Amino acid sequence: MSETTTPENLYTVAFYNLENLFDVYDDPNTLDDDFTPEGRKKWNAKRYQRKIKKLSAVISQIGTDESNTAPIVIGLAEVENLQVLTDLVNSKKLRGFHYGIVHYDSPDERGIDVAFLYQKKYFEYLDSKTVTLLLYDEEGQRDYTRDILWVKGKLKGELFYFIVNHWPSRRKGTAETEHKRIGAAKLNHEIIATINDTTENAKIIIMGDFNDGPRNTSIKQYLVTEQFYNPFESIIDKGNGSLKYDDEWLLFDQIILSKNFFDTSVKVPAFKQAAVFDDYFLKEWKGKRKGSPFRTYIGKWHQGGYSDHFPVYVTLQYSLEDS
C-alpha cells in the first residue's frame, strides 16, 4: 500500500525573483537612482510598502495547495539590501513564519542581490558563503554581476546545501552573452566540488533565475550534469513559463535537485513535484498582456503589481513518522 500523502508530510522549497525590491533611499555606490522619489520611476514609501504587502501575500501562499505551511526555504533575487528583506519577513503575512535571513551585498552595479529565507522551525542554519563570478568584456573591463550564494543547514535534521543564483542577463543579445551564463554554470560546479569534498552523497538543491531555459546550453549541457535532475524541463515542454517576453513564455526560474532525492536507499525526503505558482491573482487580467505576470513597473510606468516573474517551487515528501 502506498504511503498516504497529506499536507503534514509535504513541504515546499521555492524561488522568486522579486523584480527590483529596492528601498527608497539613494545608495551613492550603486546605480539605484531610478528607485528613489526623485528618480525616473518616482519610487516612494507608499509604493514600497504596497510592494512589500503584495510580495508577502504571494510568498505566504506558495505551495499551500499541497503543504500546510508557506515555503520552508525560499531563494530570492533582485533584493537591494538586508533592510528590504527585514521589512519583508516582518510584514503581517510573513511574520508568523519566523523566517531567518541569509544575505550578502554583492558587486552588482545596480546593487541587487540574491538572498535566502528559511523557517527556523524546520531549517537549522549552519553556514553560508558567497562566490563571485568574475567576468570581463573584450577590452578587459570587469562586468559586475550578482554573487552566487550557497547555504548549508539541516532541513528537518538532515544536512542540505542550497545554491542560489541570478545569472547575467540577455540584454546585449542571447548569443553574445551566453558565455557569461556558461561561466556561471561552471562556477556552480566548482562550489559543488567543494561540497562533495566535505560531504559524501551531499543533498544539493540549485535554484535561481538563470536567464536561460531548461534546454539552453548553459543549463542542459553545463549545469545539469549526471549528478542532477531538472524537473522544470518537463514544465517548459508543456508550454508553461515563469515570465513572458515578446509574447513568448520563458522558464528562466528553476529549481534543480541532486539525484539522491530519487534514491530510495538513502534517508532523504523524496521529490514529489515541481510547479510554477501562477495563480490568477498574480496575472494581468485584461488587455494585450492578459495572463502575463502582473508587474510592478512596465518601463517607467508604475503598475502596482507583484513581479515580472512568477515564483517556482518543488514539493518534498517526508515519511509520516518524520513529518
**How would residue 63 be classed by pLDDT, with cut points 50, 70 and 90?**
very high
| pLDDT of 217 above 90 | yes
pLDDT of 32 reads 96
**How would residue 238 be classed by pLDDT, with cut points 50, 70 and 90?**
confident
Instruction: Give the contacts of 276 (CB within 8 A, at least 6 positions apart).
Output: 235, 240, 241, 242, 251, 253, 310, 311, 312
Averaged over 33-40, what is the pLDDT? 96
Percent of the chain with pLDDT over 90: 82
Count other C-beta atoms under 10 Å from residue 268's C-beta: 20
Can you say how many angstroms the Cα of residue 24 is from the centroid of all Cα atoms in its chain? Answer: 23
**How would residue 236 be classed by pLDDT, with cut points 50, 70 and 90?**
confident
pLDDT of 4 reads 52
| pLDDT of 31 above 50 | yes
Nearest to 10 by CA among 87, 70, 95: 70
| pLDDT of 154 above 70 | yes
| pLDDT of 260 above 50 | yes
d(CA 198, CA 226): 19
Averaged over 26-37, what is the pLDDT? 95
pLDDT of 284 reads 92
Count other C-beta atoms under 10 Å from residue 317's C-beta: 21
- Render pLDDT for 261-286 as a digit per residue (tens, 0 to 9): 887 666 668 899 999 999 999 999 88
pLDDT of 127 reads 98
**How would residue 213 be classed by pLDDT, with cut points 50, 70 and 90?**
very high
| pLDDT of 151 above 70 | yes
**CB-based contact 303:310 (threshold 8 Å):** no
**CB-based contact 164:114 (threshold 8 Å):** yes
Cell 550603486 belongs to residue: 30
| pLDDT of 64 above 90 | yes
Domain boundaries, given as residue ranges, for the chain: 7-314
**Residue 254: strand pairing partners:** 208
Look at the domain 7-314 and name its fold. Answer: Deoxyribonuclease I; Chain A (3.60.10)
- Render pLDDT for 175-200 as a digit per residue (tens, 0 to 9): 988 999 999 999 999 999 999 999 99
Q: Give the pairing of strands 123-131 and 228-229.
A: unpaired
| pLDDT of 13 above 50 | yes
**CB-based contact 22:43 (threshold 8 Å):** yes
Residue 319, phi then psi, degrees to nearest 5? -65, 155
Cell numbers of 244, please? 513572458
| pLDDT of 323 above 70 | no
Angle (deg, nearest 10), helices 45-61 and 82-89? 60
DSSP 8-state class, residue 218: I
Of the listed ranges 85-99, 250-264, 303-317, the one predicted with least confidence: 250-264
